[in-house]
């Protein structure tokens, strides 16, 4: 159980500053025995010469600290309101997270059980999450302080998990306090903060196996839906937008995972839910930070939007694709036409990725076909089949160069003369987001023209693409 570190202490002193000396005697000249940090809790055993005689249970060491560098409390029930008032003050103060966690622990010890609401847990989770974010950023000389604040938080039972992403270490709070928020009578704002904290995309363990990841995403979706209609109406527009964006990202992941498991109908439902959540975002109420999350969610939805589409009832007899199982987990794609069936295809390629057969778009002259293929939940590529002198070539176009993060590239149309392929792509690679519309040479697949808007395409853009894409949001 968390935050029981002060349970046995009758009278405590909470350190309010960093780098406070725990001395062997009540004198400035006495030898320091340890360095204390804000939020450290000490047991008070006496007072002398302006110093408190204390015992540090975390370090198992006794000594003296200046009385002006700590704040004392008897942890009596009547002191609980004062402790809560301080907690409210420091909860939104950057750099004071360890101190706030210490006060949260003291308040939860002092307050009678029947009076504890979701507020202290909301504050505790907010501070722990902010501390984890601070620790995930290069701190320079301030790194020692952040590391020590993490140790203080750990003494109170606040746990963090670390994940390596793109060569950098990310620290994430395990969310225990936010789970307590859902267990208590909480306001709409408190539940919204808890839901967003518990469902962060960047705090999902990248080492999870596919089934574990699917189970986690299902749980994340359920957490985000724990805000009922009454509380939803009580929320300001900004947190509503953040919840919609998070839901869009989670449901897009579920659509991918359900498709991979062969659950076509649930996958289509999940993809449509993701599309609907993205469409419901009030773009006029997006802050700069929310705009970044909006693009992030749009890329996730754009990558999986084909899960919501069904195959035409009557496939064309011209150039088209057929699919069949390959090795366990593989899907083989065969390019066929009126004279070449799946037993003798024009071209064949197998992949462990999801093949979105409904996305296949053939050129009217029968010399090219574009197909969406998705190897990862947030990463969709484009296969281009092209007829050449020696037969058919199959080229794979990625959303961007570098290690896959988030992105998709999609067919946007053919040029009337049959020599150009229109492409739309959005991607976040190496932490940078980019959206572009391109005209590529069908012979070389090199980009000839590029712009930030689809006006580049003029009247060449495919009508179906314009109707379904999220790149024109």
Q: Which of 265, 289, 310 is the last residue of a domain?
A: 310
pLDDT at position 20: 97
Co-location of 172 and 237 in the same domain: no
Question: Is residue 432 in some structural domain?
Answer: yes
pLDDT at position 317: 73
Low-confidence ranges of the chain (pLDDT < 70): 1-10, 138-142, 166-167, 312-316
Co-location of 352 and 298 in the same domain: no
Q: Which of 157, 186, 215 is the last residue of a domain?
A: 186
CATH (domain of 91)? 2.30.30.40
Question: Is residue 191 in some structural domain?
Answer: no
Co-location of 459 and 333 in the same domain: yes
pLDDT at position 458: 93
Number of domains making up the chain: 3
Render 285-351 in DSSP notation, one character per residue: G--HHHHHHHHHHHHHHHHHGGGG----SS--SSSEEEEEE-STT-EEEEEE-SS--TTS-SEEEEE
Rounded Cα distance between 131 and 147, Å, is 10
Question: Is residue 194 in some structural domain?
Answer: no
Question: Is residue 199 in some structural domain?
Answer: no
Residue numbers of the domain that contains 134: 1-186
Rounded Cα distance between 226 and 247, Å, is 12
Question: Is residue 451 in some structural domain?
Answer: yes
Rounded Cα distance between 226 and 232, Å, is 10
Co-location of 4 and 142 in the same domain: yes
Using the Cα atoms of residue 61, residue 65, residue 69 and residue 72 in order, give the sign of their dihedral: positive
Give me the helix-helix angle, 143-155 and 119-135, nearest 10°. Answer: 140
Co-location of 159 and 216 in the same domain: no
Co-location of 41 and 173 in the same domain: yes
Co-location of 337 and 439 in the same domain: yes
Co-location of 296 and 332 in the same domain: no
Do 411 and 437 touch, CB atoms closer than 8 A?
A: no
Question: Is residue 198 in some structural domain?
Answer: no
pLDDT at position 402: 76
Co-location of 230 and 331 in the same domain: no
pLDDT at position 284: 94
Query: Whole-model pTM?
Result: 0.91
Question: Is residue 196 in some structural domain?
Answer: no
pLDDT at position 10: 52
pLDDT at position 169: 83
Q: What is the pLDDT of residues 376-385, one digit of tens each?
A: 999 999 999 9
- H-run or E-run covering 72: strand 70-73
pLDDT at position 141: 57
pLDDT at position 2: 44
Q: Which of 151, 186, 221 is the last residue of a domain?
A: 186
Co-location of 55 and 83 in the same domain: yes
Question: Is residue 473 in some structural domain?
Answer: no
Co-location of 341 and 428 in the same domain: yes
Co-location of 210 and 244 in the same domain: yes
């Amino acid at each position: 159980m968390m935050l029981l570190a002060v349970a046995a202490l009758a009278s405590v002193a909470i350190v309010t500053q960093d780098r406070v000396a725990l001395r062997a005697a009540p004198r400035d000249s006495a030898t320091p025995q340890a360095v204390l940090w804000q939020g450290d809790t000490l047991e008070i055993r006496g007072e002398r010469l302006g110093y408190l005689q204390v015992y540090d249970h975390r370090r198992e060491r006794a000594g003296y600290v200046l009385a002006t560098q700590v704040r004392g409390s008897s942890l009596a029930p009547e002191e609980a309101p004062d402790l809560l008032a301080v907690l409210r003050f420091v909860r939104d103060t950057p750099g004071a997270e360890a101190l706030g966690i210490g006060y949260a622990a003291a308040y939860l010890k002092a307050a009678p059980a029947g009076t504890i609401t979701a507020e202290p847990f909301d504050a505790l989770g907010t501070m722990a999450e902010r501390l984890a974010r601070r620790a995930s950023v290069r701190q320079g000389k301030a790194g020692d302080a952040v590391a020590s604040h993490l140790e203080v938080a750990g003494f109170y039972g606040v746990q963090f998990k670390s994940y390596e992403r793109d060569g950098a270490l990310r620290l994430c709070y395990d969310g225990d306090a936010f789970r307590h928020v859902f267990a208590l009578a909480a306001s709409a704002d408190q539940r919204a903060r808890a839901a967003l904290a518990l469902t962060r995309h960047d705090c999902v363990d990248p080492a999870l196996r596919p089934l574990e990841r699917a189970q986690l995403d299902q749980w994340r979706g359920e957490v985000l839906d724990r805000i009922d209609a009454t509380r939803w109406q009580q929320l300001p527009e900004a947190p509503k937008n953040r919840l919609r964006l998070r839901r869009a990202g989670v449901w897009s992941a579920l659509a991918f995972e359900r498709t991979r498991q062969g659950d076509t109908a649930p996958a289509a439902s999940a993809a449509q839910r993701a599309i609907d959540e993205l469409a419901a975002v009030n773009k006029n109420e997006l802050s700069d930070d929310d705009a970044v999350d909006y693009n992030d969610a749009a890329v996730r939805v754009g990558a999986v939007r084909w899960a919501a589409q069904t195959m035409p009832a009557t496939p064309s007899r011209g150039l088209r694709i057929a699919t069949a199982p390959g090795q366990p987990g593989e899907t083989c794609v065969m390019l066929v036409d009126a004279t070449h069936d799946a037993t003798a295809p024009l071209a064949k390629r197998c992949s462990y990725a999801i093949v979105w057969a409904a996305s296949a778009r053939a050129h009217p002259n029968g010399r090219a076909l574009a197909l969406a293929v998705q190897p990862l939940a947030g990463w969709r590529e484009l296969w281009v089949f092209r007829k050449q002198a020696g037969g058919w070539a199959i080229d794979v176009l990625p959303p961007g160069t570098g290690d896959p993060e988030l992105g998709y590239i999609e067919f946007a149309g053919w040029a009337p003369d049959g020599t150009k392929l229109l492409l739309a792509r959005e991607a976040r690679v190496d932490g940078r987001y980019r959206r572009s519309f391109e005209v590529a040479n069908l012979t070389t697949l090199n980009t000839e023209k590029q712009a930030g808007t689809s006006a580049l395409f003029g009247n060449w853009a495919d009508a179906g693409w314009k109707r379904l894409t999220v790149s024109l949001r």
